[in-house]
Amino acid sequence: MKVKMLIICFLVYCCTHIQAQDYPDAVKNTQSRVMLKGDWVPKDPHQIDFANLPKVPGQHAVISDVNKEKGVNQHNYLVHYGGKFWAMWSDGPGIEDQVGQRVKYATSKDGLKWTTPQFMTPEPPGSGKDSEYYGKRTDKGFRYIARGFWIREGELLALASLDEAKGFFGKSLELRAFRLNKKKDNWEDIGVVFDNTINNFAPEKLPTGEWMMSRRTHDYVTTGVHFLIGGDKKLTDWTSVPVLGTSDELSAEEPNWWLLPDKNAMALFRDNKKSGYIFRSFSSDHGRTWSKPVKTDFPDARSKFSGVRLKDGRYVLVSNPNPKKRDPLTISISQDGMVFDKMFYIVGGRHIDYPHVIEHKGYLLVAFAGGKRSVEVMKIKISDLNKMKMPVAGN
């Protein structure tokens, strides 16, 4: 009997110890692949029945639709400022990011009824509708790309990149800021934030008081992804630090990062080498250095994703987890920001991508693009999300 008990205790210890070793940690275990857990998760996460995940109740609204014009609406961002919601996105001719593309915006008091869209940025230099290059992919014309809202020192800024419209990206690439003029109710171009840069989301605060945002240069495919740190003392004062390994073992795209409960940082990367999974890296020194990015077990369609820490301490990640296509859009929930144990269906049955999620007064607002030709939003009550459960394995 004693021998039997010892064997059982030993097995329990081993299982627990192995699980603890495998669990990610920003300092002790940066190379863990674990990012998705639960009895409902199959051994191969690519085999999740994405179309039949529990569906999140919510209210739906269309902010802008250019299907009739055969235009593009893409790169959606949200913020709540001055008592109302603001949305911004890239708006242009044909497919995304051609010559003449600009940034538009709209506002809403409740997140469901939106004002008529207006242009935020001017026409790109020499690239208006009267240009012979308008609506083409060429380095002889320019485009703006929406890059997110930034509330800095009480002012609302909107970021947009500007570069030649041939590929990704042009040699003249720059990240510019536009400031909301409350008196005139318009947007003023206040200049370049950082040269040779396109970010993914607006800067977020570090524990040091500095801001941090991702950076891709015009030649990032070979040089890899960086992070910019600074922006607290001066709008244009930044230090660029590399994320080692992103240019050789994965083709890193569109990073998203957040602070963990212990104040260390975690970054997630879309992988353009088509692994079908999200990559992850950690920083324990306020973004100055990063662990080698690791392929996690969280599935991904090679598309942009958006995450945020809720006021109750949990984390949510909105993404396209189906590796075969950008359908559906889901929301996953984590208690610690590293491992997610729930995944719910938001919207799908069509091409859905490029989400941005924010929290405001008990609700989540998720902006996304429909077929790259409409800007839409889902308004989700967090209390409704709290009631949802994952199905029992085998059911």
Domain residue limits, the chain: 29-385
pLDDT-based confidence at 13, cuts 50/70/90?
Answer: very low
pLDDT tens per residue across span 298-309: 999 999 999 999
| DSSP string across 309-344 | E-TTS-EEEEE---TTSS--EEEEEESSSS-EEEEE
Smallest CA-to-CA distance from 84 within 209, 8, 182 is with: 182
pLDDT tens per residue across span 91-136: 999 989 999 999 999 999 999 999 999 999 999 999 999 999 999 9
The mean per-residue pLDDT over the stretch 161-177 comes to: 97
Q: With a cut of 90, say whether residue 203 has pLDDT above it.
A: yes
pLDDT-based confidence at 222, cuts 50/70/90?
Answer: confident
Ramachandran sector of residue 265 (left: φ over 0; alpha: ψ -120 to 50; beta: rest):
beta
Residue type (1 letter), 23: Y
CA 14 to chain centre: 38
pLDDT tens per residue across span 244-278: 655 556 677 899 999 999 999 999 999 988 899 99
Kindly tell me the sign of the dihedral angle through the C-alpha atoms of 169, 170, 175, 176.
negative
The mean per-residue pLDDT over the stretch 193-211 comes to: 98
Q: Which strand (E) or helix (H) includes residue 22?
A: helix 2-22
Q: Which CATH number fits domain 29-385: 2.120.10.10, 3.40.630.10, 1.20.120.1200, 3.40.710.10?
A: 2.120.10.10
Asked if the peptide bond before residue 293 counts as cis, ω within 30 degrees of 0, the response is: no
Residue type (1 letter), 285: D
pTM of the model: 0.93
Largest CA distance in the chain: 89
How high is the pLDDT of residue 394?
A: 52
Give CA–CA dist 364/215, Å, rounded: 27
CA 387 to chain centre: 25
How high is the pLDDT of residue 393?
A: 64
User: Cβ of 116: how many Cβ atoms within 10 Å?
Assistant: 7
The mean per-residue pLDDT over the stretch 62-84 comes to: 97
Smallest CA-to-CA distance from 108 within 376, 310, 371 is with: 376
What are 355's strand-pairing partners? none
How high is the pLDDT of residue 329?
A: 98
In this structure, are residues 226 and 242 in contact, taking their beta carbons and an 8 Å threshold?
yes
Look at 222 and 370; give whichever has higher pLDDT.
370
Q: With a cut of 60, say whether residue 157 has pLDDT above it.
A: yes
pLDDT-based confidence at 221, cuts 50/70/90?
Answer: confident
